[in-house]
Structure 1
């Protein structure tokens, strides 16, 4: 591919492009005055290295500092790459959950929405999700990425998604204030809405958070309906420990595939559990080359841990729409070898870190 061409940035997530070549093209896009965003073009002088010359592939994304805290205050218009044209507008603007302070913001352009939806749908197809089945999604919508991801996936499977909305920020405030009774009341409110849908509609796919699934599992009537009618359960948001995952898959919902989903706003998509895992296997999530790269590092040194060891998850998102490199997530995980054709690390048994920058990590209902 000739230098200066950005055609590679149009590649789909399963087109088999070389990830290092893709990263080099993305550096040219984001750090060329005619195509880069105002944010990166102004920020480059303070990086201490030259991305156009020093970033030669995926491994060199580690040269970037974690700049995601700056996304709390950057103007949305400054995040849109100029290469999209003077009239370009984001398809969506998403906020992070605000777990460790004011929310961070990212933009989703229409091309990235297509790529993200394609890779999520492809992974769910690998799990054998039913086509045309009615979905029930219990997840944050509005400024939150996950609601958009699930709605688009449902549409790709030929179904609208009936939704139960939730406000994770409010629940986290309640948890932090020790108002447990109000948290329980809010969760009961969500469960009651789910009950009406599950008993009144032919739901074929449920997408919900771990705490909501745990509450649904306490209701024998709902468990019976889910095991009889539902073709798949997708869980995500808050983490699920291995014992709970084994219990759901082996005893509570033995007749329903229970599929993990790991994602966040800075990733700008979601990763689906590796197909073919048993209830006793670790829950593994693979990266999505050439767009989403994972590293598992020692939180103190930043060095990559050995395979099979636990460390902090570092995520890089690289696309035409956005560049979010070397973001230290609020998660730890086991480092594993990725699936064939994927660059970086796979992660397994993802769990929250207890605190980020001195702020206690509160998960709540999401």
Structure 2
């Protein structure tokens, strides 16, 4: 089912070139128009101290917004849906953050953005050399977590069938936080056993999982062999992968199999894929889907951008017809990298978690 906002520049496929400033102005008119904006943002507009339709004209101007991310723990998801889509726009689901930094935040995923995102990520897999028309094992969270739904849509759009092994990242984080490593290990073994059944019985051409679970695969001779014999592409995300692990998986464990990382967040309703075409010794760099999703890498003490090549804290923006969440200070640090030609904002490299965020210890677990 094709869904349209009726605003051409907002409806174009994600990869189609467009003027980023024109896009931002159109998005502000949409999200803060009395007939098209969401109840949440129309209420919030009265508290901003500026007029987004007049004052937010560029990606850099998104920094004017306060960080409202914590409000998504309690706001009604329906209040985040733009009224311009009408009363019956298809909603794929309401998805939650991982709960790493407290009670989960909730984001409605509209069909409009789900289709745009699937087109973009599918094109990135094509560019990475991952073939179409292959079936995938998805060893990643589903249920209230967005990643399984988004990846499943990409697989289906590229002609494949998705076989899913579900897990609960919150439970693993709770076990890790309570210092119960034996139970974490038993849970990981349970996930590997379910994956083994799929890989033994089905012709799997792609695997989507997280770095800790791919590392666990690599210590299991049978699973390593099954992946090496049949799989034509591996996509990873959800947790961070250090450069040594990435080099080992690419060069020694599964040489010749494309390995594509995605740095994602529920708060941007998707992810930034790993830059394709880098050499085996180059660091992993993630390029967001600008101008829909953009990053800034800042000094958290001053709020100012760090220099290229320096490490700072990541700020994420999501701006689409379906959803608006600007100026979200993430729980990650990264090295600021120049974006590709024609993109806006920053790309990021060497991403890693902060040890604490707010009052919470950051625990990644297996996702």
TM-score by length of 2: 0.96
> Aligned pair 1:243/2:244, yes or no?
yes
RMSD: 1.1
1:198-277 matches, within 5 Å, as 198-277=199-278
Unaligned 5+ residue runs, structure 2? Answer: 1-5
- C-alpha contact 2:211 2:236 (8 A) present in aligned 1: yes
In structure 1, the residue matched to 2:68 is 67
Distance in 1 separating the partners of 2:244 and 2:106: 34
- C-alpha contact 2:141 2:168 (8 A) present in aligned 1: yes
Distance in 1 separating the partners of 2:16 and 2:90: 27
How far is the alpha carbon of 1:121 from its aligned partner?
0.5
- C-alpha contact 1:294 1:316 (8 A) present in aligned 2: yes
Distance in 2 separating the partners of 1:89 and 1:101: 29
Distance in 1 separating the partners of 2:91 and 2:206: 30
In structure 1, the residue matched to 2:137 is 136
1:72-151 matches, within 5 Å, as 72-88=73-89, 90-151=91-152
> Aligned pair 1:340/2:341, yes or no?
yes
Runs of 4+ in 1 over 6 A off after TM superposition: none
How far is the alpha carbon of 1:225 from its aligned partner?
2.1
In structure 2, the residue matched to 1:349 is 350
**Quick check: 5-14 or 63-72, which moved more?**
5-14
Distance in 2 separating the partners of 1:124 and 1:22: 26
How far is the alpha carbon of 1:154 from its aligned partner?
0.8
TM-score by length of 1: 0.97
How far is the alpha carbon of 1:91 from its aligned partner?
2.3
**Quick check: 7-16 or 167-176, which moved more?**
7-16
- C-alpha contact 1:80 1:90 (8 A) present in aligned 2: no
- C-alpha contact 1:217 1:252 (8 A) present in aligned 2: yes
Report the secondary structure of 1:91's partner residue: strand
Tell me the matched-pair count: 362
In structure 2, the residue matched to 1:279 is 280
Report the secondary structure of 2:366's partner residue: coil
Distance in 2 separating the partners of 1:221 and 1:187: 16
- C-alpha contact 2:211 2:237 (8 A) present in aligned 1: yes
Deviations 1:105-135 (A, max 9, x none): 1111111111111111111110111111110
Distance in 1 separating the partners of 2:211 and 2:272: 16
Report the secondary structure of 2:138's partner residue: strand
Unaligned 5+ residue runs, structure 1? Answer: none
- C-alpha contact 2:334 2:350 (8 A) present in aligned 1: yes
How far is the alpha carbon of 1:354 from its aligned partner?
0.9
- C-alpha contact 1:29 1:36 (8 A) present in aligned 2: yes
How far is the alpha carbon of 1:89 from its aligned partner?
5.0
In structure 1, the residue matched to 2:198 is 197
